[in-house]
Amino acid sequence: MPSKFQSGDTVMGRWPGSSLYYEVKVLSHDDDGQLYTVIYKDGTELELKESDIKSYTSFRQQSGRSRSRSRSPGRRRSRSRSPARTSRQSSSRTSSRTSEGKKDKLKEVLEVRLTPVVPPTENNSNNKYEKEDTNEPNVETEQRRSGRYNLRRRKDGDPKQAEEVKKVDEGSTTLPSASLKTEELEFGGRIGTFGMLLFLPSVVLLLLLQVSLKDTSLLTLPASFPSAEVLWDWQVFGLVILWLFFQALLYMLPLGKVVDGMPLKTGKKLNYRVNGLYALLITGVSVGIAVQQEVDLTYIHTHFLQFYSSALMMSVLLSIYLYTRSRHLSEEERASSGNSGYLFHDFFMGRELNPRIRSFDVKFFCEMRPGLIGWLVINFAMLLAEMKVQKLDFPSPAMLLVNIFQFLWVADGLWHEEKILTTMDIVHDGFGFMLAFGDLVWVPFTFTCQAHYLVNHPSELSQLFIAVIITIKGIGYYIFRKANSQKNNFRRNPSDPSHSHLKTISTATGKSLIVSGLWGFVRHPNYLGDLLMGLAWSLPCGFTHALPYFYLVYLLLLLIHRNSRDEVQCRKKYGSAWDEYCKAVPYRIFPWIY
Ligand code: NDP
């Protein structure tokens, strides 16, 4: 069907969910979906249906008619800017410009208002920059309700990008309905995610083989690929299944409080039982009893490759189950990142946001329990193995530091378990191979790298060096915990008086962004803290080999990549308010560097 409007036309576009019209430019037209990609004056892009677009001429006629009606006292004043702009800009402009300037601005765009718009969901009363403009349409809510609009910031060469997205669509086989489809593929798209499926397990295997060598130099590769017997043992597989069941049982215990998650697309909130600390405590006591009963935990060290293969097998089986069960999902159940219609991509990214078996939340469980607590058990087993291999009566200071630091990190995570409910993993990412493998394999088998290394590679530490390491860990922990707690508490209760000292920037979604304190220092202070802690975990292994720094390098790459993913999401969510935040806080993770 020929399109009514052409690329480059300047027309009036309706703002999703409301009856406000703004001047927009047509960028492209999608013949299949009958959608026009349009751009607002501030750079916000939307996809609109033809019925939501009016030509200038027809709009003027209608505008003339409705202006006569808009004199009723209940009607609002006209606004002269695209609705994606923040109200902060609005107020600062209002204060800094003359009334003549305002009139000029008002002339820029014509507007008709036929029905009231939905007010924002969250109002941050602590905003120091300005008061919320309650006339601002709640973009996120409207976007979600309509389910077909795609709000995104302008990027350079956008028509080309639109073309690329279209090309990707053409090759798709089992597409979800157009409105729910993931258009921007992450992790290198189809090829990248397929590569990750092979690359990630290989990296872990190589790391484990390398750490067991006497000379762990990166240039010394393992002599041969391990045989099937070295890699697989049914008894170990049984133990891994037992471990998962044991942790699932602890997860289901009616201990601890039940908290709400963040609102889903429909505004509904899921409940989560927060009892991770009890799980850790009970596991700790069980392990203690087992050791007292002379259960040889160093078995984990001597069969480590088999434990790895078994955990890998479980993560693959779990991912297959997750992919299969997510064939028919409602909009609110879908993860925005894992529904491209491409098998490997969606298998990797995860189609379902919060897979649950009754009230058992599979993602929350895997994120917080078997891998994290398993990591500590493995570390402890490595400590016992070190004493056995090096014939020590007491673990080395390096091994103790690694064990204590990592124990504190996990215990802290479980103590603040509910704070994970506002993180990207829970709020944004689907549960697929990426997270299943990450939780069940990557965490317990690569994060234990330092303890594993120390079993066969003793490291002498001076008292001064120990003090330096503890200081780095302390600073890192302070930044990490404060930043995460502050953001989490602010998201949950923005009007809490404890946040009254924070400066914030309002966004069109009704949420605000903290722009002072740690979140005004760099845009991801929690990542900075995490990296400092990661450094403190690696330093006890000394400087002879690079391998114990694997975790630090991985964390650096992960967090830089994660930061870029998050920035894309935030720019989509918050439009120009995010740009404003970036201007106010120019560095992402490392002050004055990056
Ligand atoms: P964050 O917890 O930082 O979450 C990012 C979200 O926070 C954004 O999408 C945005 O969401 C909100 N936000 C961003 N800036 C602001 C601001 N200025 N004010 C208020 N809200 C803001 O990221 P992650 O989920 O990636 O990480 C959580 C923690 O987990 C970090 O400490 C990280 O280091 C750690 N981590 C550790 C890993 C490891 O392997 N060791 C792996 C991954 C993470 P919205 O506005 O929608 O709320």
What's the confidence (pLDDT) of residue 62?
55
Residues 6+ apart with CB under 8 A from 27: 7, 36, 37, 38, 39, 45, 158, 159, 162
Question: Is the model more confident about 575 or about 411?
Answer: 411
Smallest CA separation from ligand 1 atom 44, residue: 559
How far apart, in whole angstroms, are the C-alpha atoms of residue 136 and residue 117? 8
User: How many CB atoms within 10 Å of residue 254?
Assistant: 7
Domain contains 383: yes
Q: Which of 446, 450, 383 is nearest to 208 (CA)?
A: 446
Cβ 224 vs Cβ 462: under 8 Å: no
Question: Is the model more confident about 101 or about 451?
Answer: 451
Among the candidates 459, 476, 496, a domain finishes at: 459
CA of 354 to the centre of ligand 1 (A): 18
CA of 419 to the centre of ligand 1 (A): 10
Among the candidates 410, 437, 459, a domain finishes at: 459
- Predicted confidence band of residue 157 (pLDDT cuts 50, 70, 90): very low
Domain contains 523: no
Q: Which atom of ligand 1 is nearest to the CA of 570?
A: 9
Q: Mean pLDDT over residues 236-246, rounded?
A: 98
What's the confidence (pLDDT) of residue 557?
94
Query: Which of the 8 DSSP states describes residue 254?
Result: S
Task: Say how many domains are in the chain.
Answer: 2
Q: Which atom of ligand 1 is nearest to the CA of 438?
A: 40
Residues 434-444 have pLDDT tens digits of: 999 999 999 99
How far apart, in whole angstroms, are the C-alpha atoms of residue 416 and residue 438? 20
How far apart, in whole angstroms, are the C-alpha atoms of residue 86 and residue 311? 47
Q: What is the CA radius of gyration of the chain?
A: 27
Among the candidates 54, 73, 90, a domain finishes at: 54
CATH code, domain carrying 14? 2.30.30.140
Tokens linked to 80: 């002269």
Q: Which atom of ligand 1 is nearest to the CA of 531?
A: 34
Percent of the chain with pLDDT over 90: 50
CA of 424 to the centre of ligand 1 (A): 6
Domain contains 581: no
Smallest CA separation from ligand 1 atom 23, residue: 423
Domain contains 235: yes
Domain contains 212: yes
pLDDT exceeds 70 at position 217? yes
Range of the structural domain that residue 17 is part of? 10-54
Q: Which atom of ligand 1 is nearest to the CA of 428?
A: 9
pLDDT exceeds 50 at position 519? yes
Domain contains 489: no
CA of 423 to the centre of ligand 1 (A): 5
Q: Which residues approach ligand 1 with their CB closer than 6 A?
A: 422-425, 480, 484, 487, 490-491, 511, 513-514, 519, 524, 526-527, 530, 555, 558, 562, 566, 569-570
The secondary structure element, H or E, covering residue 54 is strand 53-54
CA of 525 to the centre of ligand 1 (A): 9
Q: Which atom of ligand 1 is nearest to the CA of 574?
A: 46
Smallest CA separation from ligand 1 atom 43, residue: 559
How far apart, in whole angstroms, are the C-alpha atoms of residue 411 and residue 419? 13
Cα dihedral 356/359/365/370 (nearest 10): -110
Domain contains 254: yes
What's the confidence (pLDDT) of residue 13?
79
This prediction has a pTM of 0.70
Q: Which of 240, 186, 248 is nearest to 429 (CA)?
A: 186
How far apart, in whole angstroms, are the C-alpha atoms of residue 229 and residue 208? 16
Burial 450-473 (b: 16+ CB within 10 A, else e): bbbbbbbbebebeeeebeebeebb
Residues 6+ apart with CB under 8 A from 2: none
Residues 36-46 have pLDDT tens digits of: 887 766 556 77
CA of 24 to the centre of ligand 1 (A): 33
If asked whether residues 200 and 347 sit together in one domain, one would say yes
